[in-house]
Amino acid sequence: MIYSMTGYGKGLAESPKIKVEVETKSVNSRYLDIILKTPSSLINKEYEIREQIKSKISRGKLTVLIQIKSNNSEEEIISVNNDKLKGYLSLIKQLKKTAKINEKIKLEHLLYNKELFEGNDLDLSEEEFEVIKKAINAALDALLKMKLNEGKELVKDLRKRIEIIEKKLAEIEAETLTSVKEYYQKLKDKVKLIVDDAKFDNDRLELELAIIADKADITEECVRLKSHIKFFTESIEKDNEPGRKLNFLCQEMNRETNTISSKTISTSITHNTVLIKEEIEKIREQIQNIE
């Protein structure tokens, strides 16, 4: 089962005392990178929250925003952090002086800075923390659902490109035997034109030409490429976290294709290897988004 690394999820939960809203956003990343944005009342619970996330998400840059509102009052009481306000005003004045800006400081300039304002920190019990964990789970489940749906679309695209590669490889294999025989005969004809009949050793010529023609044979490379394609398809269908494996198989498919291109003496085979490499590159771009 393939999951995309990009997605969004939202979860809600509440108790008689609190209402919790959790938003999760995930984008591509080589490793799991969790960015938590939580109220100060959850600072001592960050480790538990991270472990909860790790139990469901393995890769991606994940931003988790947790908002907690009290159900005991109509409006949350907001206060101003005077020390931060004074420091912020001092910084603005210094910037204005340095940059020679004459614009006046407006209220909207201060309202944009959320760090200047403080809400009432809630004293959370273990039961209420369970409510928060429930909201986090709901958000992660919604995220995983979206990641799975996107993963299915990725699989469709990957299979389509693998089918194109298999078609081009079949054309290469059909061309291989004919191209090697033609190459062998052309070499033989050229040698006969330049070698004196009196010194002509047909058996030696046949052996040398066979060795040269054998070097242009790409049968083994085609077999290995087919094997990589088989493992690639199986990984898509069976592996739980195939991202890194698929990336490795892409490298191997590209390696065999390059070898085929360098050994072949057929223009049509060379053309098909170019098309295969284009599809491999498109696959490589897509699998960067697989968890």
Could you give the C-alpha distances from 95 to 89, 109, 155, in angstroms and in order?
10, 13, 52
191 or 242: which leads in pLDDT: 242
Residues 162 and 283 in one domain: yes
pLDDT per residue as tens digits for the range 219-265: 889 999 999 999 999 998 887 778 888 999 999 999 999 999 888 87
Residue range 20-28: mean pLDDT, rounded: 94
Residues 94 and 206 in one domain: no
Whole-number Å distance between alpha carbons of 275 and 132: 52
pTM: 0.66
Asked whether residue 49 is domain-assigned, the answer is no
Residues 220 and 281 in one domain: yes
Q: Give the count of domains, the chain.
A: 2
Residues 178 and 84 in one domain: no
- Domain span at residue 94 reads 78-119
Question: Which of 4-13, 166-175, 205-214, 217-226 has the least mean pLDDT?
Answer: 205-214
Residues 208 and 254 in one domain: yes
Residues 264 and 158 in one domain: yes
Whole-number Å distance between alpha carbons of 172 and 271: 10
Residue 109 pLDDT: 67
Domain end, chosen from 62, 97, 119, is at 119
Residues 160 and 98 in one domain: no
pLDDT per residue as tens digits for the range 167-178: 999 999 888 766
Asked whether residue 196 is domain-assigned, the answer is yes
Number of CB atoms found within 10 A of residue 173's CB: 16
Asked whether residue 231 is domain-assigned, the answer is yes
Asked whether residue 268 is domain-assigned, the answer is yes
Residues 95 and 207 in one domain: no
pLDDT per residue as tens digits for the range 30-60: 889 999 998 888 888 999 999 999 999 988 8
Asked whether residue 242 is domain-assigned, the answer is yes
